[in-house]
Amino acid sequence: MRSSFLTIVFLVGWVCCCCPQGLAAGKEIYIITVSDAIGPGVADFVEKSIEKASTDDVACIIIQLDTPGGLAESMRVIVKAIFASRVPVVVYVSPSGARAASAGVMITMAADIAAMAPGTNIGAAHPVGTGGKEIDGAMSEKVINDMAAQVKSIAERKGRNARWAERAVRESVSVTETEALKENIVDIVAADLDELIQKIDGRMVAGKGVLKTAETRSVFLKENLRTKILKTISDPNIAYVLMMIGLAGLYFELSHPGAIFPGVIGGISLVLAFFAFQTLPVNYAGILLIILSLVFFIIEMKVTSYGLLSFAGILSLLLGSIMLFEGQAGIRLSWRVLLPTIGFVSGFFVVVAGLVFRSQISRPKTGSAGMVGQIGVAKTDIRGEGRVFVRGELWKAVSTQTIRAGQKVRVRNVDNLVLEVEPLEQG
Distance (Å, whole) CA 69 – CA 124 = 9
Q: Is the peptide bond before 262 cis (omega within 30 degrees of 0)?
A: no
Distance (Å, whole) CA 133 – CA 18 = 51
Which member of 74, 94, 102, 316 is catalytic?
Answer: 102
CB 155 within 8 A of CB 132: no
Nearest C-alpha neighbor of 106 from the set 82, 138, 130: 82
CA dihedral 287, 289, 291, 294 (to 10 degrees): -150
Strand partners, 123: 101, 174
Strands 99-101 and 113-116, by their bridges, are unpaired
Nearest C-alpha neighbor of 116 from the set 36, 30, 38, 185: 185
Backbone angles phi, psi at 97, to 5 degrees: 95, -10
Distance (Å, whole) CA 358 – CA 380 = 38
CA dihedral 7, 8, 10, 14 (to 10 degrees): 140
Residue 102 known to be catalytic: yes
Distance (Å, whole) CA 419 – CA 398 = 6
Distance (Å, whole) CA 75 – CA 81 = 10
Which member of 35, 96, 142, 228 is catalytic?
Answer: 142
> Which residues neighbour 33 within 8 Å (Cβ) at sequence distance 6 or greater?
64, 220
Q: Look at phi and psi of residue 307 and say left if phi exceeds 0, alpha if psi is from -120 to 50, else beta.
A: left
Catalytic positions are 102, 142
